[in-house]
Structure 1
């Protein structure tokens, strides 16, 4: 089992509000680079979506539950059919997006018990919490040539770490960089 964190980030490390849906002052930075920069399986998850489980926070899940169920095609079908765990203290119904279930109990304990690969999409707080417990095995970061100047950063508050670069691939205006932690 591996924990894989996938994020859109700016050159200065901001991961918050890449699509502008949160209405932040600097939001929407990823989509200013055109639809090809964010369309499809940019994080190269492929079969991991069939065998793993997505781990989403409430905010990310609510956004995705509005966007993805009505879409079809190779990537949307895989994403819609994937198993999803939702970490939330306030939601009690996750039926709006198929194959979603509420994470029961402590986040860290649940991830440690999980036998499938865990894919954290967005959900900065969850990514930070898991990194703080040395549970993240891999980061797949789609880095956009934007300096946001402000916003929540993926690595703020996480312990220092030396990562090993596995690969880089250009994806439109962005670069997908994959790093291993162990």
Structure 2
């Protein structure tokens, strides 16, 4: 099994719902309140993983990304478009809108256990929750925005047992903080 990295935007109160506003929630779009330097480029420090790893997305995140990245031509967008993408969906059939995308075959946990490359999960809270429940997440790269959203889903739901992580790095892109936690 490869290394599993979860990346995501998190509000100061732990909310991950609708950071870009595409979900139409009343508090949506909170990640854009803190300047372009906070959210642009390789904000999660994926670097070479974009060439060697796999981006694992749920249907909703894939649909959002497939509208954002393909028309862009800057360096980061070009790497995002070239990156291998696997989509966990039972309803999508046409993945031609986002280059290098394919449907995941079989069960999510079986796929993750069989993939030898590093897997990066972005957004896709339903995918993250399945991986958390199966204890398959090795690393979290969380961009905490200084916004208190008040309502929505949290990155970490109820758990039957605690999970202890170690802070590997902490940087400050713009007004936010990027913390990397590992097992």
- Indicate yes or no: 2:125 matched with 1:134: no
Q: Give the count of matched residue pairs.
A: 181
- How far the C-alpha of 1:157 sits from its partner, in A, is 3.2
Q: Determine if contact 1:5/1:119 at 8 Å carries over to the other structure.
A: yes
Superposed CA deviations along residues 17-53 of structure 1, whole A, max 9, x for unmatched, are 1110100111110001122210000000000010000
Of 85-94 and 149-158, more deviation after overlay is shown by: 149-158
- Indicate yes or no: 2:4 matched with 1:3: yes
Q: Determine if contact 1:15/1:153 at 8 Å carries over to the other structure.
A: yes
Q: Tell me which residue corresponds to 1:169.
A: 171
Give SS of 1:79's match: helix
Q: Distance in 1 between matches of 2:110 and 2:176?
A: 34
RMSD: 0.9
Give SS of 2:62's match: helix
Q: Distance in 2 between matches of 1:116 and 1:95?
A: 23
Q: Distance in 1 between matches of 2:8 and 2:158?
A: 17
- Using the size of structure 2 for normalisation, the TM-score is 0.96
Q: Tell me which residue corresponds to 1:51.
A: 52
Q: Distance in 1 between matches of 2:48 and 2:158?
A: 32
